[in-house]
Amino acid sequence: WQNLSDRINIVSPSATLAVDSKAKAMKASGVDVIGFGAGEPNFPTPQAIVDAAAEACRDPRNHRYTPTAGLPELREAIAAKTLRDSGYEVDPSQIVVSNGGKQAVYESFQILLDPGDEVIIPAPFWTSYPEVVKLAGGKPVEVLSGHDQQFIPTIEQLEHARTPRTKAIILNSPSNPTGAVWDEELVRAVGQWALDHHLWVISDEIYEHLTYDGAHTSYVGALVPEVRGQLLVLNGVAKTYAMTGWRVGWLIAPPEVAKAAGKLQGHMTSNVSNVSQRAALCAVSGGLEEVSHMRAAFDIRRKAISSALNAIPGVSCTVPQGAFYAFPNVEALLNTPLGPNASRAASSSELAALLLEEAHVAAVPGEAFGAPGYLRFSYALSDEDLIEGMRRMQGWVTTRI
């Protein structure tokens, strides 16, 4: 719109939030929608974490601002957790606690990019990456790997996308939206390649604890220690502890970069809610038992949704190895009659709209992730809803007049 800045006009709205809010609006108006849209665990936040927050509310110290970069004890706990999980030491001064991992992603590019700088983004990608790159004046360079390569790029593909303007690469393994997990060999190779070409590595590790089938998260900072001087790690409590709405994430970066992030955050949002930080402190200083229960439940749903999707004619789903998303290819459903009205979808975006309107099943179109021809299903919903949603989709797809 002409009265708004160019900066905001080039940004697309978050498609995942859009699907979720449309589904929620339909639900509110009485339609029984099954929502595979949001990346939100359906489990409650573990009780000990809720108790820590309730306790914090009653403590007058927590009515105040905290340091912008976060409570010192939380930053220490994040450093300890990083050593435990990723296997290398970071200093608390390298950590900035942010309003969700999302703010850490935003800040990273505001800090690193000058106008015209390019960022290599392996696609399918999390929907916010290109938008936050554009908001920082940068140019997203997408490198697409389809289901034929399990959504995992090769070093040759990445190298092909590199130009003299390339400033950074995003690594997101386990991946949203595909659930792909990059193996150690590739993560090491990417770290080494970034080192050789002086590229920043932005490693989004928010799904680190959600891996299946013996796959595990490979940490670039551990595998290629030399890259730590040009590495920004993004993480948060949302997915590991079922705390999406608590809004606590963090950035781990070289000290000068962390200082810059603190400066930026100081003018944007100041500190994260004090009470949420206390809750996050309880979460990250505790064990990983709760997430292991969630992982076991997700694992069952992962298998259930992959086989249900693969049983639908025209749908082909790579079995995901991480996170809580399935990302089936649906190209064979395009331009063919579907459902009782013999509706036709020309794109996965139209297919998602029809699926929602006619079958009351919400999924996010691949267009939102740089991969038309796919749909993303979050399986962080209840087992009953998963089964019912798949039954509806199967019924809708196979009912033709």
Told to check if 101 binds ligand PLP by CB under 6 A, we report yes
- Phi/psi for 335 (5° steps) reads 55, 30
Nearer Cβ to ligand PLP (244/310): 244
Stretch that binds ligand PLP, among 24-32, 97-105, 153-161, 299-307 (CB under 6 A): 97-105
Q: Which of 70, 236, 328, 366 binds ligand PLP (CB under 6 A)?
A: 236
> Which residues on adjacent β-strands are paired with residue 95?
252
Stretch that binds ligand PLP, among 70-78, 95-103, 314-322, 367-375 (CB under 6 A): 95-103
Q: Which of 153, 179, 249, 262 binds ligand PLP (CB under 6 A)?
A: 249
222: closest CA among 112, 97, 90, 92?
A: 90
Angle at 313 between CA 311 and CA 315, to 5 degrees: 80
Residues in region 266-325 near ligand PLP by CB under 6 A: none
Told to check if 100 binds ligand PLP by CB under 6 A, we report yes
Q: Which of 176, 218, 271, 306 binds ligand PLP (CB under 6 A)?
A: 176
DSSP string, 296-325: HHHHHHHHHHHHHHHTSTT-B-PPP-BTTE
Query: What is the rounded CA–CA span in Å between residue 48 and residue 59?
Result: 17
Q: How far is the CB of 42 from ligand PLP (least distance, A)?
A: 15
Stretch that binds ligand PLP, among 26-34, 54-62, 100-108, 270-278 (CB under 6 A): 100-108
The token pair at 294 is: 């969630």
Q: Which of 34, 121, 180, 206 binds ligand PLP (CB under 6 A)?
A: 206
190: closest CA among 118, 117, 120, 89?
A: 120
The token pair at 384 is: 């009953």
The token pair at 388 is: 């019912």
Told to check if 102 binds ligand PLP by CB under 6 A, we report yes
Nearer Cβ to ligand PLP (105/359): 105
Could you tell me how many residues make up the chain? 401
> Which residues on adjacent β-strands are paired with residue 204?
234
Footprint of ligand PLP on this chain (CB under 6 A)? 39, 100-102, 126, 172, 176, 204, 206, 236, 238, 244, 249
